[in-house]
Structures are given as C-alpha cells and as structure tokens.
Amino acid sequence: MAFAGIIVAILLVLYLTWRIRFRYPPIGTPQALCYHKLSDRFCFEGTWMTRKRFLDQIDQLKNAGYRFVDEDEFLLAISGRAPTNDKRLLLTFDDAYEELFNVYLEHLRPREVPILVFIVSSYVGRENTWDLTGGRRRFKHLSWDQIKAMAKAGARFGSHGATHADLTTLDARSLDVEIARSKTDIESALGVTARSFSYPFGRYDQRVKTAVESAGYEAAFSLYPKHCNEIVDRFALRRNGVYIIDTPRTIRWKLERSPVYWFEEMKCRTINGIAVLTPVIKRVSPGRGSSPGPGT
C-alpha cells in the first residue's frame, strides 16, 4: 500500500512539473523525431533501434496520416510561413552512423521519406571513440563518400559539432572549432550550405546559442529544451527522442495530445538526463574515450 502511494506521489510530481513548466507544443507547428543508431546488434545504451522496428515505425506513422517533410519545409513552417498542419514530421538522425547509408538508400528514399542527418565532422569515417560503450564494441560513422552519395540522393546534412563535446564547457576558441569549423568542413565537402546544428547531448546555454547563430546557422536542435514547449525557439528546437523501448504507439503518444503525452515527455526527459552523464563521466575518467583532435 505504501509502495502504491509512493508511485502515485511520483506520478503526481511528474505531472505537475510537466503541467507548470513544459505543457504541449503549439498547434500547427511540425514536430521532429530524433533517432541515433539503427543497428541489429545490441547496444549498451538505450538510444539504438533495430532496422526492422524502425521501418515498421515509419510505415505505421505514414499509415496514420503523418507526412515526413524535409529540412526546407520544416524551417519554413517554424517561421510561420507555411500552411498549418499538425501531421508534418521532420525525421532527424544524430551522430551519422554508417548503418544509415543502406537504410536511407534502400528503404527511406524509395518511401519518399526525407531525412536530416547531423554529422560529427572530425569523426567522419571513424569509430565513435567519443562515446562511452561500457567496454563493448564501437560503431563506425558514415564516410565522406557515403555522405556525398546520400546527399546526391536527397538527404540533408547539418553539424553535430566536430568532436561531440559538451559545448557548454568549452572556451571561445574550442567553441569556434566545434561550431564554425564543422560548418565549413561540411560545406566544403558537400558544396551546399549546412543550415542546421544539433547540440551534442542536447546541451546548450545562451553563449552556445549565440555562437551557433553567429556562425551562420539558421536553426539549432536540442532534444527537450528547458523552456516551455509552447515557445518555438529557433536555436533550441524541441525533438522527440525515439529509443529502443518505443513502439509505434508510444511514438504517437509523444506526438499527439493523448492523456499520456505528459508521461512520455517526462520519461524521455529522464532518459535524456541520463545521457548527459556521458560528458561528466568522460571528464572524471578521460581514458574512457579519445579525441582525434579538432578539425581533422
């Protein structure tokens, strides 16, 4: 009985926190999904998704009337210059892992599903030594050749920094490498403008936001920003993280004004809060990962 009381109290605190601080996103603004690894291999962290489950989620969302829009339409829509439609969705991928190459060309492009992929520019073609793996296997990032082939086929690319560092901890020079140089590296490789930025670990502060805007980006994505969801901040855009525990049903709970919307939101904020421990653990124990050096 006491246990049930504790659960009810926790749920009540979560609900009130959501109701007072976050609330629903505004009607008529497209939402964004954020995936990380698409892998059929088990991963230590919860941000991966098997290829089969992922494709099933995309198909079920399409069947439910969702329309996947590209970066251009999304950025236009958040400026209020496009017709309102609640069922527009932007599909984004952080970290740009190698598995995405086949998934995009063989499955997403034939389904006419556009994607926006955020590259860790110094790790292109390399393994993810920036990440904690709990001593398990590493994952490879897309190479420039793969990125160019995907861009030619219609995929869009933005920056996720140069080394996946927590930008809120960096000095001005390092911040410039992570934000401005990663942009020029991507643009010189692809010959197109990198319009959007994605904050590593979703972490930002006012100084980081200003640096991103000054570097010439038009928008920046977090996951679950600190401000109220009703405010659309172009340099702290909200995305719904999708994790291995998610199903097509829970993804729709994240997107629609269902009775459990608030629970999904607070659940994902909690998962994202755990991911933020990665840079903290790396600071305490730097030998757990290695940096290739900036701008390579």
Q: Find the binding residues for Zn ion in span 165-204 (CB under 5 A).
A: none
> Residues 72-101 vs Zn ion: string with x where CB under 5 A?
----------------------xx------
Find the shortest distance in angstroms from Cβ 199 to Zn ion: 9
Find the shortest distance in angstroms from Cβ 28 to Zn ion: 29
Indicate the residue among 45 and 246 with the shorter CB distance to Zn ion.
45
Find the shortest distance in angstroms from Cβ 45 to Zn ion: 11
CA–CA separation, 2 and 22 (whole Å): 29
Rg (alpha carbons) of the chain, rounded to whole number:
19
- Give the SS3 label for residue 19: helix
Indicate the residue among 250 and 278 with the shorter CB distance to Zn ion.
278
Establish if 131 lies at the interface with Zn ion (CB under 5 A): no
> Residues 6-45 vs Zn ion: string with x where CB under 5 A?
----------------------------------------
Buried b (16+ CB within 10 A) or exposed e, 273-283: eebeebbeebe
Q: H/E element holding 275? A: helix 261-275
DSSP secondary structure string, 171-212?
A: -HHHHHIIIIIHHHHHHHHHSS---EEE-GGG---HHHHHHH
Find the shortest distance in angstroms from Cβ 164 to Zn ion: 6
* Amino acid identity at 213: E
- Give the SS3 label for residue 286: helix
Indicate the residue among 18 and 243 with the shorter CB distance to Zn ion.
243
Find the shortest distance in angstroms from Cβ 246 to Zn ion: 18
Indicate the residue among 140 and 257 with the shorter CB distance to Zn ion.
140
CB 48 within 8 Å of CB 37? yes
Max distance between CA atoms of the chain, in angstroms, equals 63
Count of helices and strands (H, E) across the chain? 11, 8
**Total number of residues binding Zn ion (CB under 5 A)?**
2
Find the shortest distance in angstroms from Cβ 94 to Zn ion: 4
Indicate the residue among 94 and 265 with the shorter CB distance to Zn ion.
94
Indicate the residue among 71 and 95 with the shorter CB distance to Zn ion.
95
Residues of this chain that interact with Zn ion (CB under 5 A) are 94-95
